[in-house]
Structure 1
């Protein structure tokens, strides 16, 4: 089939500009340069500069006062009585103090940068990024120039007030977090001691292991190979769900499993802490305290769903992956005359997350 030639294509290919025809060629983009520098009021008037400096350090000291007020409000408006009005006043005045402290730091820092720090424009030429002998000197000069431009080294009132405001701003948070810790009293002399609290749970010699939450005791014959039971102390199921119940339950929760005896490799001295392949370990992860409740039947691994720490039940629940720092505490168990699984004692080490005082 013959190809029909496009007449326009031939015309476009043969076109050339006429000698007298001027063809417009766009000029390259010109550098617009920096606009003329306009001095600020504080650059022109020393009195205005002094006012700006006073404003900045006044804001920083206002932040200090607001942080102190937040701590005072925590004490002036206690919430121990449980009244809604007390809680409302506590939250309101502490929140106002913290908000004002942080707001004053922010406004002061912005005003400092806009009215006091150097306002000159600089152009930094590009250069090779490879290291060279003058790098250290250039870095020192850069810090020196920055200090000179900001006035950080010269303006002692601003510098000291900023340090004071930053230090004071964390005090309300420390105060509030400190109030979350249980306080010791004559009735509870160990309430403020985490080592004691996490070293003692409801488990004691002869206490039966029971299903969570029904409280039905568990017999050894109920635990088949590959099974896993969520367990609490039998006595806990009989306790009224009042104040302190959840705390006691959180420390005492246990996971009960049965493995083939030939696949168990207990730690030295723990050989008699199980019964016929049945072992019990704390469910509280030793990383940050999440419940370790996912059991892989084939690998005998326990998985914490929060941060993926894994523990090998066949080797004393030691850590094999993840951020947890130590193995899960093991609950020594045995079987009583009626065939029920009972605890030999309490845990022999603190349960829960690792902490520096736990020695």
Structure 2
């Protein structure tokens, strides 16, 4: 069978190992980088100027998009009650932000593909010496500036700077203007539309609810009847967000905890609480009738309806505020008062000092 007759390819001579052969280093010689193919913009200054104009136009498109956003945001102004004007404003805001971001993105991509150097290179990693670090860093920065051609092409540079400065403004203004009121704080969340004698009604029909309409195990989303008297759409949404309430009915003997002063807050096993989770304000919407637990789907905070809605699991910091309720002469459910503590996340109470002590942090 000969010298290599054992059939092992490693011993047959058919496979050249690294370090063997004529090169003495590689089984196959390093072919190196492929030859560079110059682009049209590399060979023709006219083409390069054209590419520069295209990039500048894209940056200008970004600037125009930002301007369109501000026209829709400030020129149209408040749109409450006018759905047609609201659609126009939303269109301008969306189109403006889209073009602001799209112009910058496409401009940078086209700039990199047509004007920036595209030579492939292999650079050996060298240890930096402390005495030369600053000089090398300065050299790298200068090389980047030269390769990007920012110094050579002022039109491209100026339009890019203008687009980059303006593009973030829509996001800054939008986030800053999430709430326009000057009294944004705990006092706004302390009071809602609930008051003594206000009927509990179904949402969105506004139908009043009799105690007899609720069977054991029933849970229902309700709002205050006087919410419908607010004419301003924006204000109505704001007040509704604070006043949304869950009503449920259980066997009276299943209610385990009734604190002093809360003896008349329920009616024949019917209890009510704020629907706004005390963790970060998500809507608590899941009711388990056998355990009497309410679950917030966002972060799984769990509240025990049988024990004054105290937290039994999850990150929520305090119980859900309970709404005192009773019935009127016709058997309809009504509120005895507003919530006695602020609704919503616990942080609303931080820094608050209430001389009457009607709620605690």
TM superposition score category, shorter chain reference: 0.5 to 0.7
Following the alignment from structure 2 to structure 1, what is the Cα–Cα distance between the partners of residues 129 and 339? 59
1:253 pairs with 2:253: no
CA gap of 1:117–1:356, structure 2 versus 1, over 3 A, is farther
Cα–Cα, structure 1 residues 151 and 95, in superposed 2: closer, same or farther, change >3 Å? same
Distance 2:57 2:15 in 1: 56
CA shift at 1:151, angstroms?
Answer: 1.9
Question: Aligned residue for 1:218?
Answer: 211
Partner in structure 2 of residue 12 of structure 1: none
TM-score by length of 2: 0.61
Q: Work out the CA distance in 1 between the residues paired with 2:137 and 2:302.
A: 47
Aligned to 1:150: 144
CA distance in 1, matches of 2:245, 2:223: 9
- Structure 1 residue 171 and structure 2 residue 165: aligned? no
Helix, strand or coil at the partner of 2:211: coil
The runs of 5 or more residues in structure 1 that have no matched partner are: 1-15, 18-22, 128-132, 185-189
1:141/1:279 Cα in 2 relative to 1: closer, same or farther (>3 Å)? farther
Q: Is the 8 A contact 2:197 2:335 kept in 1?
A: yes
1:200 match: 191
Superposition pairs of residues 252-291 of structure 1, within 5 angstroms: 252-257=243-248, 258=250, 260=253, 263-264=256-257, 271-272=262-263, 274-275=265-266, 279-286=271-278, 289-291=281-283
Matches of 1:236 and 1:109 in 2, distance apart?
Answer: 55
CA contact 1:332–1:344 (8 Å) conserved in 2: yes
Deviation at 1:253, TM superposition (A): 3.1
Instruction: For residue 194 of structure 2, give the secondary structure of its aligned residue in structure 1.
Output: coil
Q: Give how far 1:349 is off.
A: 3.4
CA distance in 1, matches of 2:283, 2:29: 66
Task: Provide the secondary structure at the position in 2 that maps to 1:292.
Answer: coil
Shift of 1:46: 7.9
C-alpha contact 2:116 2:149 (8 A) present in aligned 1 = no
* Deviation, structure 1 residue 346: 0.5
Change (3 A) 1:143 1:49: farther
Does the alignment pair 1:332 with 2:324? Answer: yes
Give the distance between the partners of 1:96 and 1:324, measured in 2 at CA: 39
Alpha-carbon distance in 2 for matches of 1:63, 1:205: 55
Structure 2 vs 1, CA of residues 208 and 75 (structure 1 numbering), >3 Å: closer, same or farther?
closer
Give the conservation status (yes or no) of the 8 Å contact 1:287–1:324: yes
Q: CA distance change for structure 1 residues 138 and 288 in 2, over 3 Å: closer, same or farther?
A: farther
Aligned length: 321
CA-based RMSD of the aligned residues comes to 5.4
TM-score (normalised: structure 1): 0.61
Distance 1:255 1:215 in 2: 14
SS at 1:263 equivalent: coil
Aligned to 1:110: 109
Q: Does 1:295 align with 2:287?
A: yes
* 1:105, distance to aligned residue in structure 2 (A): 0.5
Asked whether 1:313 is paired with 2:305, we answer yes
Using the TM superposition, give the Cα deviation of residue 168 of structure 1 relative to its aligned residue in structure 2, in angstroms.
1.6
Q: Note the C-alpha offset of 1:174.
A: 5.1
Once the two structures are superposed, the pairs formed by residues 88-127 of structure 1 within 5 Å of their partners are 90=89, 93-123=92-122
Confirm or deny: 8 A CA contact 2:295 2:302 kept in the other structure: yes
By how many angstroms is 1:169 displaced?
1.6
Range that drifts further, 292-301 or 333-342: 333-342
Residues 294 and 121 of structure 1, relative CA distance in 2, 3 Å threshold: same
The separation in 2 between residues aligned to 1:320 and 1:169, in whole angstroms, is: 46
How many angstroms does 1:50 deviate by? 7.7
CA spacing shift, 1:322–1:49, aligned 2, 3 Å: farther
- Other structure's SS at 1:110 match: helix
Answer whether contact 2:198 2:226 (CA < 8 A) is retained: no
Could you tell me which residue of structure 2 aligns to residue 9 of structure 1?
Answer: none
Q: 1:294 Cα deviation (Å)?
A: 1.7
